[in-house]
Amino acid sequence: MHPVIGITCSLTATPIDGTTFFLERNIIARDYARAIEHAGGAPILLPHSEDLACIQQYLRVVDGLLLSGGGDIDPLRFGQEPHQNIGSVDPVRDEMELQLTQKALAADLPIFALCRGIQVLSIAAGGTIYQDIASELPQPTLRHSQKGAGWYASHTIDLLPDSRLHQITGSITTRVNSFHHQAVRDAGEGFIVTARAKDGVIEAIENPTHRFAVGVQWHPEMMWERHPEAVNLFAAFVKACR
């Protein structure tokens, strides 16, 4: 049996022609499911819900949780007022994902968190994030929102020796893609920083006491067909879910 991996979704709203109504859809890039399938997992999508009982049922069904990328997180969730460069926020998604993550951490359910997901993971454990790294970091930053193809590894990161991430990739340095303007500021309780970009921006965190609780700031689901390190990340996650 393949382990069942629950993948969180984004929300889009499009106007219905000739009306004042909007059609809301939960959406997710197909890359996430394809990467999980390739690693031997069975992906299912987790639609947005405000029903706590439904959220708890999600966790009873899945063997692992993948927190996907997407829009910005409401800064009021981590005790800050909105920065002038904050993007669109989705309070329903924020609440659901924070509930899912906190309960998954408490149950030691494997979690793999990508891009926005690493920020959710940190906030769920009491951490904070930069709302806009280009204006909030004291030094100039690298380009963290690349213009190249999604699979292209646009900058280098340094990995913490002997971390889980180092063990999975087999290297203390690698290259990653980059599509973000926010990043973890303070890792949540129990988490350690396991990778940074050359400008100091946090690129990965993990909780060494959990079966698998790893967050990365990049998008390995876009890279796995061309980069073995991305394949290894998904393989390690799915293995932990068995």
Distance between CA 16 and CA 156 in Å, rounded? Answer: 44
Q: Which of 115, 144, 210, 229 is catalytic?
A: 115
Distance between CA 214 and CA 169 in Å, rounded? Answer: 13
Q: Return left, alpha or beta for 28; rule: phi > 0 is left, psi -120 to 50 is alpha, else beta.
A: beta
Q: Which of 210, 219, 227, 229 is catalytic?
A: 219
Q: Return left, alpha or beta for 222; rule: phi > 0 is left, psi -120 to 50 is alpha, else beta.
A: alpha
Distance between CA 119 and CA 184 in Å, rounded? Answer: 6
Q: Which of 48, 221, 227, 241 is catalytic?
A: 221
CB 217 within 8 A of CB 184: yes
Tokens 């997407």 label which residue?
A: 70
Distance between CA 130 and CA 122 in Å, rounded? Answer: 12
Distance between CA 26 and CA 3 in Å, rounded? Answer: 23
CB 48 within 8 A of CB 131: no
Distance between CA 188 and CA 207 in Å, rounded? Answer: 9
Active site residue 155: no
Phi, psi of 205 (to 5 degrees): -135, 160
Active site residue 181: no
Active site residue 221: yes
The residues assigned a catalytic role are 115, 219, 221
